[in-house]
Structure 1
Amino acid sequence: MKKTSDRNIQKQTLKKVLRYIKKYRGLLVLSILLAIVSVILTLYVPILIGKAIDCIVYEDVQFEAISSNLILAGSMVGVTAVTQWFMNVINNKVAYQVVHDIRKEAFRKLEVLPLKYIDTHSQGDIVSRVIADVDQFADGLLMGFTQLFTGVITLIGTLIVMLTLDVAITLVVVVVTPLSLFVASYIAKKTYRMFKLQSETRGEQTAFIDEIIGNEKVVKAYGHEKEALEHFDALNEKLAKCSLRATFFSSLTNPCTRFVNSVVYAGVAIAGAFTVLSGRMTVGIWSCFLSYANQYTKPFNEISGVVTELQNALACAARIFELIEEEGEVPDSQDALVLEKAKGVITCKEVSFSYVPDKKLIEGFNLSVGQGQKVAIVGPTGCGKTTLINLLMRFYDVDKGSIQVDSLDIKALTRKSLRLNYGMVLQETWLKKGTIKENIQMGKPDATDEEILAAAKAAHAHSFIKRLPKGYETIITEDGGVLSAGQKQLLCITRVMLMKPPMLILDEATSSIDTRTEMKIQSAFNRLMEGRTCFIVAHRLSTIQNADIILVMKEGKIIEKGNHEELLAKQGFYSKLYNSQFAG
């Protein structure tokens, strides 16, 4: 059952690869024509050399004929070399263009995959599919183009020429060679599963390395180096074992087929020797046959090598196609509305949502927020605060109920227009590789230098930016480089200050900033929040005391609702949270 499944996967993967190759069929036809020319010239060279030999072995040595045959043979070898060079250039172009198209489509799919996929798959495995697996596939595809066409054409051409020279000796070759194909086919079936396991294990290893590098400070802080090394050693050992098995079995192909080919060559030599002695064949023609026996069996070595390499290539291609064929984000409907400038009236009606179907999170959630109101969301970890933000931004769609903006269901709006109406500052900062200016401009690419400067000053980021080596033109890496956590967060706040969206989401936006700067930022936020609907997720209750509505969440439900004074007066869950932070 497993063998049938693997065979079906291989067939399906091969069909998908051929669909990509179809785009370059013109170049492919040209490559085949060049392969035919190359093979014809290669096959004619032994005939010329055989004629030259016949001019030597008998009493009357014909020097002029020998010279002309060798010159013609040398010319054909030169033309063959040029033809093969052009063929290799074309094959490289086709192979790498196909890989370029596949990788481009994979990256395009990454941008439309739902967050659910990204959240449930390790980043390292995804990177491994797009980079390492595609590279492995490229190597196999290139070998296939380079050797498969010439190999098949050489087999057919050599067989035809040998049949015209001597049918009996040709039958000796034809009878023995199928054994070579049988050996190659048997080994290829065994190696596919091994190469697939190798590719999957490589993905696991990449994921673990990515995880450790990204969290190196945490690993060192908790003295987890030994455990991390042991886990890596186990993964590395697993990869070494499956790689060794795959390589060992695939390496058996060439020696096995070479053995069969040597038997063929010996058979031709013995049969040809008796034919020469009987006078039915000249020594020159016999030398041609020996040369053709080599040429006929050589493609079997090459094709068997290609088949083995293709097992690895198809295993890698299957993984990348799994990613490409993943179900993307539900596209916006054709009649989806574009939200131009939202007023900021938000309504949640009987909203239910869970990440895992059998594990309930948010149920029957109701909320009404008026224009310009500040809504603070508090509660213990895992109560659904960040999940609510994900639903408001349509990073996830609700399972039941609806969320409305200005009386419009957000499912009826385009995602892009909805998100452009929100300004978002998260606890986890995100910066891209580029200048400080480019990072600030992300939400408003056409912003002027004056606007950027004003936003930076409002966010209290200008003072540290101008101290950087090149100020706003300083280039930083995606992890912020030498910037502190607080400085990175100030840059993210500056982005929002620059956009001035009608709605704001602040998820622990000042968690990495010192108290003195936080007070300044709060005053800047207060100016920014005037007239704008704001959702503030906070653990430090001192930062949300002036909110219009405070939602106290627990286990996905609103258990208390009101402003700061009202909730304290109730002496409920909020009061306990507040008092626990300010005890004494």
Structure 2
Amino acid sequence: MRTPPVRGPVTKPHDFWHTTRRLISYTRRWIPGIVLAILMAIGGVIMDIVSPKVLGSATTVVFDGVIAGMRKVNAGMTVRSFPIDFKKIVSILMIVVVLYVLSGIFQLVQQVVMTRISQSIVYQMRKDLKAKITRLPVSFYDGHSKGDILSRAVNDMDNINTMLQSSLTQLITSFFMFFGVLFMMLTISWKLTLVALLTLPLSILVVSFFAPKSQTFFRAQQHELGVLNGQVEESYNGHNVIKTFNREEDAIKEFKEKNGRYFQASWKAQFVSSFMFPMMNLIKNLDYVFVAVIGGIQVTQGAVTLGNVQAFLQYTNMFSQPITRLANLTNTIQSTIASAERIFEIFDEPEMDFEPGHFPIVKSDKNEVTFDKVDFSYVPDQSLIQNFNLNVVPGQKIAVVGPTGAGKSTIINLLERFYEVNDGSIRMKGEDIRNKPRSEIRKRMAMVLQESWLFNGTIFDNIKYGRFSATKDEVIEAAKAAHADLFIRELPDGYDTILNEDATNISQGQRQLLTIARVFLADPEIIILDEATSSVDTRTEKLIQAAMDKLAEQRTSFVVAHRLSTIKNADKIVVMNQGQIVETGNHEQLMAKNGFYANLYNAQFIGNTLLS
């Protein structure tokens, strides 16, 4: 089957502001809660930046009392205790406690509100994404890897959740803290503020140098980690092949190389990022020293109180925090918007047309299925099926054969409406299948594919997947009809046996028998068997073939076959090549023609004889 190219992951948004506006509009119904959380965050910042100055006034009261006492001592007066106003100090401390308690309450409310909102937003986005995915055509899945879709549904959603839950309020609080601290510093001393600001360009220089470097190395680290994980997963899944071809040393060597690249990328990322905080601390400490020295001089001159210098020193410590935090948030915001863009890309994908068609009903057409002048292509201007015509009467067994790429599976995809025809019509009992909802069409059909799909659960539940309303007896009868009951009962837990991931605790043939039992339970009008016996041994093939023959009794069936020996008893064999029907007839008729089918059959028969 031809498929469009798979798209790769996005590391940065292509249109930052458009995606940002779209993400904000998506959160519209939670705007009141977000505003409340932001107000709580701002309130907490205000409490935090006011507290040092209030606390500094207590130091001033103590200092003034000590100075007054020292003056009395110097004047020769007897001083039993320094005249410190402890009542005022206690009242100041009570105010500080209230401020810190209020700050904690504001931050707690903000965190609870944003956690609730962020989870609600991502919950809704996941629901919308799931609903969207169900409306997308099969061509979308052909053009995207499973890992890519899962990454968008899980990892990208988590990025958005983290941003909304913490990074958004951090962004707001950092902004207000920077200007709030600057304002409080100016209320104390504009001269000390200038001294504190002298190191600001140096801080910005450090952040602007190290942050992009760190971001680049962390991106490389994540890339190498993904490559390493892929190699580990590939080696684990293909360990039998690796052992069979004695490639253990090669696999170990490849792992060492990838692990070494990951180590180098990770080491560089950690090394560069670790420089930022020591450098910022150095700048902060230099700032602290300059302010302490000059502030001390101003205290001796009476220009500033000791308490205000103490508060100013605290503000100096707080001043660099918003800059560092904003630098770190830059990468997070870029990553989040890129994640949102990847999710919105799926939202913008064209959906299947769910409106019923209005194609004329051909009352004279009594066939179960009719392909009438069907044209189809996966890629525009590269036609695959051209002027395809086929009439299938009720109860007929149709085998579709041909070389790889002939269009066999495409015919099934069109019948199931996984894809829509470009031209022509596919009718069931005279009515175009586009006149009916896809669900109604598919209720009439069931498939057994080459790759048997079973989910993690019990054998009983896997069979019951064909019809959820089925009773236990009906499930067992379906298993018996599919020749699966015997091997199921031989398992330790019988029908309650849990199938592990990929159902590897039973054989490929047993998995196929379970999928056939599922189809028996569904009891469809039309069955589709797509290369259902191509990957099993001869003995199991006979069991599966017997089960499929029984399944096909009194039903219309389509069999896409690779082993031509399995379709000798088909009522009609449709031989395809390059999207065209080149021959039609039963086995004997086609062999007598000595044409394309006979060449295929003889080539396969001779090959099997030589191998036996």
* Structure 1 residues 160-191: Cα deviation after superposition (integer angstroms, max 9, x where no partner): 33333334434554575366456545665666
Q: Which amino acid aligns with 1:35?
A: A
- Which residue in the other structure is 1:303 paired with? 326
- Which residue in the other structure is 1:385 paired with? 408
1:207–1:344 CA distance, 2 compared to 1 (3 A): farther
* Structure 1 residues 368-415: Cα deviation after superposition (integer angstroms, max 9, x where no partner): 222222111112223221222222212223334332223333333322
Question: Aligned-residue CA RMSD in angstroms?
Answer: 3.5
- Preserved contact between residue 196 and residue 315 of structure 1 (Cα < 8 Å): no
1:175–1:333 CA distance, 2 compared to 1 (3 A): farther
- Which residue in the other structure is 2:7 paired with? none
- Which residue in the other structure is 1:448 paired with? 471
1:569 paired to 2:595: no
- Which residue in the other structure is 1:32 paired with? 38
* Structure 1 residues 408-432: Cα deviation after superposition (integer angstroms, max 9, x where no partner): 3333332222222111001110001
CA distance in 2, matches of 1:248, 1:11: 32
Quote the offset at 1:106 in angstroms.
4.1
Q: Which amino acid aligns with 1:379?
A: G
- Which residue in the other structure is 1:285 paired with? 308
- Preserved contact between residue 151 and residue 303 of structure 1 (Cα < 8 Å): yes
1:116–1:195 CA distance, 2 compared to 1 (3 A): farther
- Which residue in the other structure is 1:115 paired with? 138
SS of the counterpart of 2:388?
Answer: strand
Quote the offset at 1:46 in angstroms.
1.8
CA distance in 2, matches of 1:548, 1:390: 22
TM-score by length of 2: 0.82
1:49 paired to 2:55: yes
The residue correspondences of 1:312-331 to structure 2 (distance < 5 A) are 312-322=335-345, 324-325=346-347, 327-331=349-353
* Structure 1 residues 241-296: Cα deviation after superposition (integer angstroms, max 9, x where no partner): 55566656655554555455445444543443343233222111221222223223
* Structure 1 residues 179-220: Cα deviation after superposition (integer angstroms, max 9, x where no partner): 645654566566666666666665555555555544444444
What percent of counterpart residues are identical?
Answer: 40
CA distance in 2, matches of 1:438, 1:104: 25
The residue correspondences of 1:504-583 to structure 2 (distance < 5 A) are 504-512=527-535, 515=538, 518-519=541-542, 521-583=544-606
Higher Cα Rg: structure 1 or 2?
2
1:87 paired to 2:110: yes
SS of the counterpart of 2:38?
Answer: helix
Q: Which amino acid aligns with 1:26?
A: P
Tell me whether 259-268 or 448-457 shows the greater mean CA deviation. Answer: 259-268
Quote the offset at 1:120 in angstroms.
3.7
1:496 paired to 2:519: yes
Q: Which amino acid aligns with 1:28?
A: I
1:477–1:543 CA distance, 2 compared to 1 (3 A): same
CA distance in 2, matches of 1:510, 1:110: 31
Q: 1:19 aligns with which of 4, 16, 25?
A: 25
- Preserved contact between residue 440 and residue 491 of structure 1 (Cα < 8 Å): yes
1:431 paired to 2:454: yes
CA distance in 1, matches of 2:308, 2:118: 40
Quote the offset at 1:497 in angstroms.
0.6
- Preserved contact between residue 124 and residue 204 of structure 1 (Cα < 8 Å): no
1:134–1:197 CA distance, 2 compared to 1 (3 A): farther
Q: Which amino acid aligns with 1:489?
A: Q
1:39–1:16 CA distance, 2 compared to 1 (3 A): same
- Preserved contact between residue 404 and residue 410 of structure 1 (Cα < 8 Å): yes
Tell me whether 63-72 or 198-207 shows the greater mean CA deviation. Answer: 198-207
CA distance in 1, matches of 2:229, 2:344: 19
- Preserved contact between residue 253 and residue 305 of structure 1 (Cα < 8 Å): no
Q: 1:273 aligns with which of 293, 296, 304?
A: 296
The answer for unaligned runs of 5 or more in structure 2 is: 1-10, 70-82
SS of the counterpart of 2:490?
Answer: coil
Tell me whether 498-507 or 172-181 shows the greater mean CA deviation. Answer: 172-181
Count, aligned residues: 576
1:438–1:7 CA distance, 2 compared to 1 (3 A): closer
1:357–1:85 CA distance, 2 compared to 1 (3 A): same
The answer for unaligned runs of 5 or more in structure 1 is: none
1:420 paired to 2:420: no
SS of the counterpart of 2:386?
Answer: strand
1:333 paired to 2:333: no
* Structure 1 residues 301-322: Cα deviation after superposition (integer angstroms, max 9, x where no partner): 2222222433444444444444
The residue correspondences of 1:18-167 to structure 2 (distance < 5 A) are 18-57=24-63, 58=67, 59=69, 60-167=83-190
The residue correspondences of 1:341-352 to structure 2 (distance < 5 A) are 345-352=368-375
Q: Which amino acid aligns with 2:354?
A: D
SS of the counterpart of 2:474?
Answer: helix
- Which residue in the other structure is 2:8 paired with? none
Q: Which amino acid aligns with 2:582?
A: I
Q: Which amino acid aligns with 2:352?
A: V
CA distance in 2, matches of 1:553, 1:399: 19
Quote the offset at 1:64 in angstroms.
3.0
1:422–1:514 CA distance, 2 compared to 1 (3 A): same
Q: Which amino acid aligns with 1:422?
A: M
- Preserved contact between residue 346 and residue 403 of structure 1 (Cα < 8 Å): yes
CA distance in 2, matches of 1:118, 1:91: 34
SS of the counterpart of 2:389?
Answer: strand
